[in-house]
Amino acid sequence: MHDCVMFFSYFGSLVHYMELENDTRIPEFLLLGFSEEPKLQPFLFGLFLSMYLVTILGNLLLILAVSSDSHLHTPMYFFLANLSFVDICFTCTTIPKMLVNIQTQRKVITYESCIIQMYFFILFAGIDNFLLTVMAYDRYMAICYPLHYMVIMNPQLCSLLLLVSWIMSALHSLLQTLMVLRLSFCTHFQIPHFFCELNQMIQLACSDTFLNNMMLYFAAILLGVAPLVGVLYSYFKIVSSIRGISSAHSKYKAFSTCASHLSVVSLFYCTSLGVYLSSAAPQSTHTSSVASVMYTVVTPMLNPFIYSLRNKDIKGALNVFFRGKP
């Protein structure tokens, strides 16, 4: 109880400090985006608006398919529907503001809005990461322990895994946000990105950022590398189990249940890794922004198509939903 009181007291003092320092802070940042060329703005607006609408529509259809068909009320589709919901929220944290900036040619974002955007971006990115790990564990249990699968992956465990993913992501996002609130911004207020990205915010600060960088690296190892290791271990055990199956048809069926998830995992981690590698390179601001589009826009847009194009259950559920017949 004492720790909780101390935590909220610390958070309150940080907010109070921020209010007192408003006179010395510039209350607005500039999101530079991709290009200031006027001729490119209509193209960029149309491109990202279409991608945003496809992302929302595709993920909503997947959620509707899973929720409307009782045959899809299984652990795999439970996590898949939640992944689609998180992908919608993830996209909504960055794209609407970018579209408004492109349309109005005003790239300003207030300090408070920047902090809020950064918090929710870290939150939903973290949940995405944890859900992909949980889905790998689900496939591991389904293939390696098929007889005990429904007993082990019961609704209580599935709900608990989802709740833990939300809590851990929320705590991590809150901690990173509180760490940014302690920073001072003195001279440079241009963010060379289309959203308030954590690493860019830290680089803009004129106060000591040692603790922020240490927290960033620690979180990358604990919340980035550890889940990836869990995914790789799960698939190592899955491949070992599939190799022991004698029937070629059974092998194909077992592997096909993992192919979609493996494609999404590869897309998510490869694009995320590309962002951090490009941001570490000198004079790579534009490259980092373009790479960020891959996992903030392209990956959430492709997820429902990857999971539904070769999935007869999803296509059957959508067919019943729209036409009223299988």
| pTM for the model | 0.87
Average pLDDT over residues 288-306: 83
Which tokens is 277 given? 């590698």
Judged against a pLDDT cut of 60, whether residue 283 lies above it is answered with: no
* Ramachandran area for residue 181 (φ above 0: left; ψ -120 to 50: alpha; else beta): alpha
Average pLDDT over residues 131-148: 93
Judged against a pLDDT cut of 80, whether residue 26 lies above it is answered with: no
Average pLDDT over residues 181-202: 85
Closest CA to 269 of 133, 79, 85, 86: 133
Q: What was the pLDDT predicted at 287?
A: 64
Average pLDDT over residues 54-58: 95
Q: Domains for the chain: give ranges and CATH numbers.
A: 28-323 (1.20.1070.10)
The CA distance from 77 to 193, in Å, is 35
192-203 tens-digit pLDDT: 888 998 988 888
